[in-house]
């Protein structure tokens, strides 16, 4: 394989992209973003399947308001996908997203592009220029006669110049196409004229197995040439399959380390009553020593934790000085807070040796009811909006009303 191309590095939340950072895996939710709980469940499932970054659509005000509640509870950085309305980009910034994806073929007014870039610059939020052969600016279609590699690269360069006018360069770029040779040549040409990190993908690849083959053919070719800093499979399938495929591709090419234990943890928020980072570190150390091939979740609150991480094999959520130990989303035991990690380790061993059904059958009587009492008590103490999401929703509504950003 060719040595990886040197690019500048940006940060999408806490995930570095470009430079010497590991190549990251991305996917996109297919839920309505306004469905906060459903979207969070999908984000957690994607994270557990291998996604480092997750994109959510921001196509209407309700979606932006949903993002305000999703972002503080997400275990991974969130990218807002914006197409035609620049106000949606401003609203997503109000919601606190970690990155924007803009399609230069759809948002075309320079003043709108530069306004969004200025606001992103002020907030330290990167932007992906997402060029797509299927939605190329009509002026470029007329110039080149069709979607060509030169047309896709020029589209990205035009957008970059608008950004440069306002001093914004916190950028990554994609030049996607559903035609694999067109996609490959577009990225080759782009990599020769910019050092911005590149987001690889074959857009609209279709359902597996054909979609997997097309996407792998395009991305693996470029990765083998040292081109690419983050990847996404675009499949007509459950997005969890995208995340799994991305992780497996990078592992197969020796670009990411293989893993046995898959531990995820929430980033903490207004509901957390423990040091989530420390508990996650302790749990990871204990479980990795056992080399258990399972998905484990460490959640900072009992109000949302078991539901958000229900796809995990096993997990624990903290609240009111106790830990709710759950298997596949069902609480099987309630333990003292200082015994959380040990209880998690013991249950994980039993889960591997006995299986899910046996561990669910061995659940403590009354554990679910005891856990529900804790959840309701915390809701009573903290209220339904411990993350102050409603304040962000108000800012979004003001932005949508007057077309101006609010800080």
The answer for residues whose C-beta is within 8 angstroms of residue 205's C-beta and 6 or more apart is 178, 211, 212, 214, 215, 233, 234, 235, 236
What local confidence, expressed as pLDDT, does residue 382 receive? 81
The full DSSP string for 360-392 is HHTPPTTHHHHHHHHHHHHHHHH-S-TT-HHHH
Domain positions in the chain are: 10-252, 262-382
Question: pTM for the complete prediction?
Answer: 0.89
Question: Where does 236-366 have alpha helices with state H?
Answer: 239-252, 276-290, 305-308, 340-354, 356-361
CB 392 within 8 A of CB 96: yes
Instruction: Write down the CATH number for the domain with range 10-252.
Output: 3.20.20.20
11-28 pLDDT, tens digit each: 999 999 999 999 999 999
What local confidence, expressed as pLDDT, does residue 11 receive? 98
Each of the 407 residues of the chain gets a pLDDT tens digit; together they read: 899 999 999 999 999 999 999 999 999 999 999 999 999 999 999 999 999 999 999 999 999 999 999 999 999 999 999 989 999 999 999 999 999 999 998 998 999 999 999 999 999 999 999 999 999 988 999 999 999 999 999 999 999 999 999 999 999 999 999 999 999 999 999 999 999 999 999 999 999 999 999 999 999 999 999 999 999 999 999 999 999 999 999 999 999 987 778 888 888 777 777 788 899 999 999 998 988 889 999 998 888 888 888 889 999 998 888 899 999 999 999 999 899 999 999 999 999 999 999 999 999 999 999 999 988 888 888 888 888 888 899 999 999 999 988 87
CB 72 within 8 A of CB 268: no
What local confidence, expressed as pLDDT, does residue 346 receive? 96
The SS3 of residue 276 is helix
What local confidence, expressed as pLDDT, does residue 269 receive? 79
What local confidence, expressed as pLDDT, does residue 168 receive? 98
Sign of the four-CA dihedral 284, 346, 341, 315: positive
Q: Does domain 262-382 have CATH number 1.20.58.220?
A: no
Sign of the four-CA dihedral 59, 64, 65, 68: positive
Strands (E), 90-166: 99-102, 127-132
CB 170 within 8 A of CB 124: yes
- Identify which of 269, 293, 264 has the alpha carbon closest to the alpha carbon of residue 279: 264
28-75 pLDDT, tens digit each: 999 999 999 999 999 999 999 999 999 999 999 999 999 999 999 999
What local confidence, expressed as pLDDT, does residue 102 receive? 97
Residue 26, token pair as written in the block? 């991305």
Tell me the β-bridge partners of 299. Answer: 317
Q: How far is CA 186 from CA 17, 62, 83, 160, in A?
A: 20, 35, 21, 16
């Amino acid at each position: 394989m060719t040595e990886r191309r040197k690019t500048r590095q940006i940060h999408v939340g806490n995930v570095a992209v470009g430079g010497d950072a590991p190549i990251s895996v991305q996917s996109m939710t297919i839920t309505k973003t306004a469905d906060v709980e459903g979207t969070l469940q999908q984000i957690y499932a994607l994270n557990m399947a291998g996604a480092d970054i997750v994109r959510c659509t921001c196509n209407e005000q309700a979606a932006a308001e949903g993002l305000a509640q999703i972002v503080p509870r997400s275990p991974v950085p969130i990218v807002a996908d914006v197409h035609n309305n620049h106000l949606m980009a401003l609203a997503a910034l109000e919601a606190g997203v970690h990155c924007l994806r803009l399609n230069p073929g759809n948002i075309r007014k320079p003043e709108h592009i530069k306004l969004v870039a200025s606001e992103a610059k002020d907030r330290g939020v990167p932007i992906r220029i997402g060029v797509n052969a299927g939605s190329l600016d009509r002026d470029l279609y007329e110039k080149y006669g069709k979607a060509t590699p030169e047309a896709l690269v020029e589209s990205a360069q035009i957008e970059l110049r608008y950004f440069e006018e306002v001093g914004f360069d916190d950028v990554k770029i994609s030049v996607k196409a559903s035609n694999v040779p067109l996609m490959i040549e577009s990225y080759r040409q782009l990599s020769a004229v910019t050092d911005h990190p590149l987001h690889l993908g074959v857009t609209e690849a279709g359902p597996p197995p054909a979609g997997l083959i097309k996407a792998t053919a395009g991305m693996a070719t470029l990765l083998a040439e040292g081109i690419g800093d983050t990847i996404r499979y675009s499949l007509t399938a459950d997005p969890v399959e995208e995340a799994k495929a991305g992780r497996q591709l990078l592992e197969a090419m020796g670009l990411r380390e293989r893993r046995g234990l898959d531990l995820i943890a929430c980033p903490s928020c207004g509901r957390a009553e423990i040091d989530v980072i420390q508990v996650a570190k302790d749990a990871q150390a204990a479980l990795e020593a056992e080399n258990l091939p399972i998905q484990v979740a460490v959640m900072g609150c009992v109000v949302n934790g078991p539901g958000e991480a229900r796809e995990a094999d096993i997990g624990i959520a903290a609240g009111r000085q106790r830990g709710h130990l759950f298997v596949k989303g069902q609480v099987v035991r309630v333990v003292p807070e200082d015994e959380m990690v040990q209880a998690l380790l013991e249950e994980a061993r039993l889960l591997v040796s006995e299986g899910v059904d046996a561990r669910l059958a061995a659940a403590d009587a009354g554990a679910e009811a005891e856990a529900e009492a804790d959840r309701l008590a915390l809701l009573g103490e903290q209220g339904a909006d411990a993350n102050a999401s409603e304040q962000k929703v108000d800012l979004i509504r003001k932005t949508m009303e007057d077309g101006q950003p609010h800080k």
